């Protein structure tokens, strides 16, 4: 079955067909496969078309469809002027790696995005640049290493089992699968971070996170934000107060608690830089907030899409359920079991290819002059990288819009996936800090779900279409049927 990747208003598959009838020859369709765009060309709109208000409006309305449209028209590299900025968008895996790996020190995140992020994240690792970022990253990295994450796996299993209990009544009626994944990943991150979970608090926090995502997506396309005290900023103000109060209460509780904990907060409290200094109170609050925010929204989105991929591919789902029965024989998974579940693992990788929660990486700015793909990139230029598009490029993925987990099986005959073509967690030194945590969590939850339930589409409901609000989510909350297997 093929999957059409609809963004808010534009069907990419339809666009491809339209482009096939236009006069522009596109690299993929032109049979020039695998070769990045010629360095001498000057792709992208010029003159008055490049001024940018229309492009900005289009980006705001349908980011992925708009950037896809540029690349269909102009090729692997698109350069244009968007308001005050020179704007470059790159699609080709070689260019993506050149930027994120080789030139990473010459890029910073777009200050407007970090300014918006900083209102919630403070100066945490996701916002910081240069030496402070390096220090924070080095302090946090050991806590997210596979061994440390494996120690958190029993907490993930406990949260999953509690959720299975809650879902016992689910049957042939529509079940709010997306809401259930959001609640479950919230519980996993609360237990992993603070060794506790509180359902009511979790729900309030999930609502606040949702409000912040939607508001942030709107703010990105305005050159300045109105102050937080402005009356129309009340939802953002309330959401920030909810999250901030919640994190600060957890930190206060830990200060008064002498019992040992083996959780992420404990790791952060004990983390030291090479000079032996730890995080101060603000630093701890900021890192907790980022782990909390980055650590559940993305995974909830990924599991939601995985649920849909399973429901819409019953044969693959059945094969995974059989693998689980064979390896686990009904018991909960342990860290040692996960490598024995390749079929489940491939289904998750393929879901992350089709529906990467970080569909567009945070836009970068060149901090010094750069030369990439033969193009001179001046300091201050904006750089866009869009995994959702690179990961659906027919040059690297046969039948790119189809759910084909076997493409991640080296023995399947699918061509090798070039480095830089598959990047759901980004690449280079700023690659996702929680990638092992996230894949472990998805494996554990996926295993528990398919051991107990069969996921089916709800008759009469249309297939979900993706919408980008910081993370890529279905435009309508996903509902599925949960049939009990045992």
Which residues sit at the interface with ligand HEM, rule CB under 6 A? 125-126, 137, 290-291, 294-295, 298-299, 302, 356-358, 361-362, 424-426, 430, 432-434, 437-438
Nearest residue (CB) to ligand HEM, 160 versus 358: 358
Nearest residue (CB) to ligand HEM, 28 versus 180: 180
Tokens of 56: 């900005």
Q: Are 440 and 153 in contact (CB under 8 A)?
A: yes
Nearest residue (CB) to ligand HEM, 298 versus 481: 298
Q: DSSP code of 85?
A: E
Nearest residue (CB) to ligand HEM, 174 versus 417: 417
Nearest residue (CB) to ligand HEM, 56 versus 362: 362
Nearest residue (CB) to ligand HEM, 439 versus 481: 439
Q: Give CA–CA dist 24/66, Å, rounded.
A: 16
Place of tokens 């040692």: 336
Least distance in angstroms from the C-beta of 427 to ligand HEM: 8
Place of tokens 């480095």: 419
DSSP 382-404: EEEE-HHHHTT-TTTSSSTTB--
Place of tokens 């600060």: 248
Antiparallel, parallel or unpaired: β 471-474 and 77-82: unpaired
Nearest residue (CB) to ligand HEM, 29 versus 220: 220
Q: Give CA–CA dist 317/336, Å, rounded.
A: 22
Least distance in angstroms from the C-beta of 137 to ligand HEM: 5
Q: Are 417 and 122 in contact (CB under 8 A)?
A: no
Instruction: Give the CA distances from residue 445 to residues 153, 210, 367, in Å, rounded to whole numbers and listed in that order.
Output: 10, 22, 41
Least distance in angstroms from the C-beta of 261 to ligand HEM: 16
- Cα torsion angle, 408, 411, 415, 416, sign: positive
Nearest residue (CB) to ligand HEM, 288 versus 377: 288
Least distance in angstroms from the C-beta of 238 to ligand HEM: 25
Least distance in angstroms from the C-beta of 298 to ligand HEM: 3
Least distance in angstroms from the C-beta of 295 to ligand HEM: 3
With both helix axes pointing from N to C terminus, report the angle between 314-328 and 342-354 in degrees, rounded to the nearest 10: 140
Least distance in angstroms from the C-beta of 439 to ligand HEM: 7
Q: Give CA–CA dist 47/70, Å, rounded.
A: 16
Nearest residue (CB) to ligand HEM, 80 versus 291: 291
Q: Are 70 and 42 in contact (CB under 8 A)?
A: no
List the end-to-end C-alpha distance of the chain, in Å, as a whole number. Answer: 28
DSSP 86-99: EEEEE-SHHHHHII
Least distance in angstroms from the C-beta of 277 to ligand HEM: 19
Q: Are 411 and 346 in contact (CB under 8 A)?
A: no
Residue 303, burial from CB neighbour count under 10 angstroms (0-12, 13-18, 19+): buried
Least distance in angstroms from the C-beta of 211 to ligand HEM: 20
Least distance in angstroms from the C-beta of 234 to ligand HEM: 29
Nearest residue (CB) to ligand HEM, 130 versus 235: 130
């Amino acid at each position: 079955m093929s999957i059409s990747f609809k963004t808010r208003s534009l069907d990419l598959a339809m666009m491809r067909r339209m482009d096939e009838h236009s006069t522009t020859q596109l690299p993929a369709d032109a049979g020039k496969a695998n070769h990045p765009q010629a360095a001498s060309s000057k792709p992208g709109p010029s003159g008055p078309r490049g001024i940018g208000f229309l492009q900005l409006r289009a980006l705001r309305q349908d980011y992925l469809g708009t950037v896809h449209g540029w690349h269909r028209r102009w090729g692997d590299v698109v350069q244009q002027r968007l308001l005050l900025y020179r704007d470059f968008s790159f699609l080709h895996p070689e260019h993506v790696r050149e930027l994120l790996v080789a030139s990473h020190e010459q890029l910073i995140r777009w200050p407007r995005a970090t300014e918006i992020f900083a209102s919630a994240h403070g100066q945490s690792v996701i916002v910081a640049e240069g030496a402070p970022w390096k220090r924070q990253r080095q302090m946090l990295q050991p806590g997210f290493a596979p061994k440390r994450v494996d120690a958190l796996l029993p907490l993930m299993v406990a949260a999953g089992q509690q959720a299975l209990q809650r879902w016992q009544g689910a049957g042939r009626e529509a079940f709010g699968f997306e809401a259930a994944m959001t609640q479950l990943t919230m519980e996993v991150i609360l237990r992993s971070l603070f060794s506790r979970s509180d359902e009511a608090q979790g729900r309030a926090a999930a609502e606040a996170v949702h409000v912040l995502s939607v508001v942030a997506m709107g703010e990105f396309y305005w050159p300045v934000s109105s102050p937080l005290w402005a009356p129309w900023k009340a939802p953002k103000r309330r959401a920030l107060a909810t999250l901030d109060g919640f994190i600060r209460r957890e930190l206060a509780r830990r200060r008064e608690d002498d019992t040992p904990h083996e959780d992420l907060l404990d790791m952060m409290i004990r983390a030291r830089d090479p000079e032996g200094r730890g995080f101060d109170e603000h630093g701890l609050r900021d890192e907790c907030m980022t782990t909390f925010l980055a650590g559940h929204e993305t995974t909830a989105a990924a599991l939601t899409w995985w649920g849909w991929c399973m429901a819409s591919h019953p044969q693959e789902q059945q094969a995974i359920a059989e693998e689980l029965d064979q390896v686990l024989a009904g018991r909960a998974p342990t860290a040692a079991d996960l490598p024995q579940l390749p079929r489940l693992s491939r289904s998750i990788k393929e879901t992350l290819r089709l529906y990467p929660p970080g569909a567009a990486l945070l836009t970068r700015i060149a901090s010094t002059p750069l030369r990439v793909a033969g193009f001179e990139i001046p300091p201050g230029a904006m750089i866009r990288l869009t995994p959702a598009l690179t990961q659906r490029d027919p040059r690297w993925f046969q039948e790119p819009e189809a759910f084909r987990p076997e493409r991640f099986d080296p023995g399947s005959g699918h061509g090798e996936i070039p480095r830089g073509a598959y990047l759901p967690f980004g690449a280079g030194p700023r690659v996702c800090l929680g990638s092992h945590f996230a894949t472990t969590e998805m494996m554990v939850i996926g295993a528990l779900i398919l051991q107990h339930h069969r996921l089916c589409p709800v008759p009469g409901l249309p297939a979900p279409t993706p919408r980008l609000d910081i993370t890529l989510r279905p435009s309508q909350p996903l509902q599925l049927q949960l049939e009990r297997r045992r």
